[in-house]
Amino acid sequence: MNEIVSIQLDGNELKVELGRTILDVCREAGVDLPVMCYLEGLSVVGACRLCVVEIEGSPRLFPACTTPVAANQAIRTQTEKLKRYRRMIVELFFAERNHVCAVCVANNACELQDLARRVGMDHVRFPYLFPECGVDASHPHAVLDHNRCILCTRCVRVCDEVEGAHTWDVMGRGHASRVIADFNEPWGSSTTCTSCGKCVQVCPTGALWPKAASMGNLRKEPGKIGELVAKRKLNA
């Protein structure tokens, strides 16, 4: 057991164990921070920046998922500035690829769509990029649609860390980055993919979806990964 220290979370005094992250502590205290790249059971990358918080005494914002608690931290999670930034982040997700909820298999079962309503996004203020994005339907069971990918890399991490196959990775830089199978081959001809389907389950949008699903009956169970990891004691 680590040392116990005091912190302030949105004005409330808390005793917490050193070595834990701010996100962990928030969740335990019932403070609901929005997340996209974070998924229980997977390594933490701090990529999406949705869980940013303010720490008194520092001008910069900290991703709660990667920042450990420290003694006497005064953390704010719901300031106007944070809300403004979170909405901007969500708008940038929508502007970067072609997210057309109306014709998406994940309509009404999408973490990005839910997040948009949660941060009060009524429109996107940034110019849409409208990139040309491919759709890889070569796998017998599932489809990868780059139009809907937000590069959270949950699929990459679950494939590597839980399944152990490391079929997925990311190629390119910035907004030209794309998730690829093996050495950028059609997913269906991947020699490493075990067709376990974990990537599909953890994908927060309609970027990875089972061919058996149609709009209205898609259900994903990203929570299963945390359970699986706990049972296998992978992160012990």
Partner 1 sequence: MRKKLATVWLGGCSGCHMSFLDLDERLLEIAQWADVVKSPVVDQKEFPEVDVVLVEGAVVNAEHEEEIVLMRRRSRVLVAFGDCAVTANVPSMRNAWPKEVVLRRSYLEVPGTVEGRVPTEEVAALIDRVRPLHELVKVDFFLPGCPPSADLIYYVLTELLHDRVPVLDEARLKFG
- The residues of the shown chain that bind partner 1, judged by CB under 8 A, are 94, 98, 100-104, 107-108, 113, 116-118, 120-125, 127-128, 130-133
Distance CA 42, CA 188 (A): 25
Minimum Å distance from CB 4 to partner 1? 36
Nearest alpha-carbon partner for 46 in 94, 91, 89: 89
60/123 with CB nearer partner 1: 123
φ and ψ at residue 181, rounded to 5 degrees: -100, 135
7/106 with CB nearer partner 1: 106
8/107 with CB nearer partner 1: 107
Distance CA 226, CA 127 (A): 37
Minimum Å distance from CB 202 to partner 1? 21
The CB density around residue 156, as the number of other CB atoms within 10 Å, is 21
Q: CA dist 101 to 114, 166, 204, 223, Å? A: 11, 30, 13, 23
Minimum Å distance from CB 95 to partner 1? 10
106/200 with CB nearer partner 1: 106
127/140 with CB nearer partner 1: 127
Task: Find residue 179's DSSP bridge partners.
Answer: 170
50/75 with CB nearer partner 1: 50
Task: Find residue 210's DSSP bridge partners.
Answer: 142
Minimum Å distance from CB 34 to partner 1? 12
Helix then strand then coil, in percent of the chain rounded to 5, is: 30, 20, 55
Distance CA 141, CA 34 (A): 30
Minimum Å distance from CB 130 to partner 1? 4
Minimum Å distance from CB 87 to partner 1? 12
